[in-house]
Structures are given as C-alpha cells and as structure tokens.
Amino acid sequence: MRIDVLTLFPGVMEPFFAASIIARAQAAGVVSIHCTNIRASATDRHGSVDDRPFGGGPGMVMMCGPLFDAVERVEREDPRPATRIMLTPQGERFTQEIAGELAGLKRLLLICGHYEGFDERIREGLKPREISIGDYVLSGGEAAAMVVVDAVVRLLPGALGGEQSIEHESFSDGRLEYPHYTRPRDFRGLKVPEVLLSGDHDRIEKWRQSESDRRTRQRRPDLPGKPENA
C-alpha cells in the first residue's frame, strides 16, 4: 500500500511514521508513506494556503488552488488510483470497520486541513471521503490522520508479525478485549487470576470469553458484540 499525506506540518507527522510498527511495516515493504507540504503548491510569494472567508466572520479558510495542485501532483507520482480522504470533524465517524475497509485498498491520499475549515469547493471538486475521529474539535487534521494511518497499517498483512494478535483484540468482533497479566504472579499483593496459571486451555479460553463479555456489557453496552458460544 502507498499512503500520501498532504499537510502543512509534515515535520509533525514524519517522526510518528518513523517509529514502532509503522516504521517496521515500511522497512518490510508492506507500506510506504509520503508526507507532502501543501505550502509547496502555494502560488504567491508569501506561500499563502489560506485566506479570509467571503461573507466575513472569524478565522481563515483553506484555499482551493494549492490543495488541488498538491493532490494532482502527488497523484501523478503513482499510477494506482488513490482513495482521497479528508480529515474533518464533519466526516463520518472513524471505526475499526472503516480501518479494515481502508486496509484493503492499494493507495490512500489523506488531506489534513487547518484553520477554520476548507473552501467548500474542495469537497465538490475533489470528492474526498470525509472522516472524523470523534466528537471533539482538533486544531488540525494531522493528529486524526496519524490515528487513521496507525489503525490501517497495523491491519496490513505482515505489519505486526504475530497475525493472530489482531483476531482477539478489542473491536475486531464488536467487543472489548479480556484482561491481560504477565510476571510476577503476585505484585504487591495483587494476584494473577488462578485460572491463567492452571494450564487448562479450555478453562482459560472460557474465562477470557466471559471477561470480554462482562467488560463489553459494563463499559460499552452500545457495541454490537454478542457473547460467543452462549
């Protein structure tokens, strides 16, 4: 997969993509991530990418020209058609299901805005899929784009190593994950549940299922997950 990110702050994002699982996935050839500064497509001598809103009002608006140019330039760098995604609080809510959908694509182009918003003709002209990561306002799309890239890349075959770790994790089946423990067995009087030390894999599996169900009911009754083997 190839992922392009258009942003005014490539320097904020690059270190994130150069660490941990995303770095490993890139080194393994599973994904390549390219950040492009929208400002490189500005046409005036000040490098303007935003301007005052017609009709007045507060804040600045992302201009059409530099963004259209940046999209067209970056898309020409690779013949595979890119799925355009705009990060905006007005988009559909990002979920694990959408992450899975995006992970099946060959090329993503993420567009990060700043300021008060995008000129509406960016939506009309570029027809991006609009994604929000939740009901709160960020000062720009960068943090949201990092969330989306992280959630997608770790689903790509070969990105994680032990692929079975994905099957059991929270949200993969609409439920929360069961609790985990590691050494020591007794930490300041806090004990590891006996069942996990029993070596009885049937019992352990049943315990994990029931803890997962209990957590989901208690914390996230809105999730669709149904108790398995019930």
CA distances from 228 to 113, 153, 211 (A): 42, 28, 12
CB of 67 closer than 8 Å to CB of 111: yes
Q: Which is nearer to ligand 6GU, 65 or 140 (CB)?
A: 140
Q: Give me 198's structure tokens.
A: 């029993």
Whole-angstrom distance, CA of residue 159 vs CA of residue 146 = 16
Of 51-59, 70-78, 81-89, 119-127, which segment contacts ligand 6GU by CB under 6 A? 81-89
Whole-angstrom distance, CA of residue 109 vs CA of residue 83 = 6
- Minimum Å distance from CB 138 to ligand 6GU? 3
Whole-angstrom distance, CA of residue 202 vs CA of residue 139 = 49
Residue in this structure with the two tokens 């509406």, named with its chain if needed: 120
- Minimum Å distance from CB 165 to ligand 6GU? 27
For residue 141, state whether it binds ligand 6GU (rule: CB under 6 A).
yes
Of 1-9, 37-45, 84-92, 102-110, which segment contacts ligand 6GU by CB under 6 A? 84-92
- Minimum Å distance from CB 145 to ligand 6GU? 8
Q: Which is nearer to ligand 6GU, 65 or 91 (CB)?
A: 91
For residue 138, state whether it binds ligand 6GU (rule: CB under 6 A).
yes
Instruction: Extract the runs of DSSP E, i.e. beta strands, from the chain.
Output: 2-7, 32-37, 50-51, 61-62, 83-93, 107-112, 117-118, 129-132, 186-187, 190-191
Q: Which is nearer to ligand 6GU, 135 or 202 (CB)?
A: 135
Q: Which is nearer to ligand 6GU, 137 or 230 (CB)?
A: 137
- Contacts with ligand 6GU by CB under 6 A lie at 87-89, 132-134, 136-138, 140-141, 144
